[in-house]
Amino acid sequence: MLAPAYKGSEALAEELAQHVKKRLSAHSYPRAVEFVTELPKTPSGKIQRFLLRKAEVEKRKG
């Protein structure tokens, strides 16, 4: 999630991708960046990654 002072944009997504690409190996950097307002979390505060994966699969199908 972005801090309130930032807005999700194509330029910010590219800047983030390049930052990660410099620090990780060439195959590890994100090919796409998507900004969301909220992440699904469990009652204990952990991110529910399986819901994010499921949403991505559904988005690619439809």
How confident is the model over 6-16, as pLDDT tens digits? 889 999 999 98
Q: DSSP for 28-52?
A: TS-S-----S---B-TTS-B-HHHH
**Whole-number pLDDT of residue 17:** 87
**Whole-number pLDDT of residue 31:** 81
Q: Top-level CATH class of 10-61?
A: alpha beta
**Whole-number pLDDT of residue 30:** 81
Query: What value does the mean pLDDT of the chain take?
Result: 89
Q: Give pLDDT < 70 ranges for the chain.
A: none
Cβ–Cβ contacts within 10 Å for residue 21, how many?
13
Domain boundaries, the chain: 10-61
**Whole-number pLDDT of residue 26:** 76
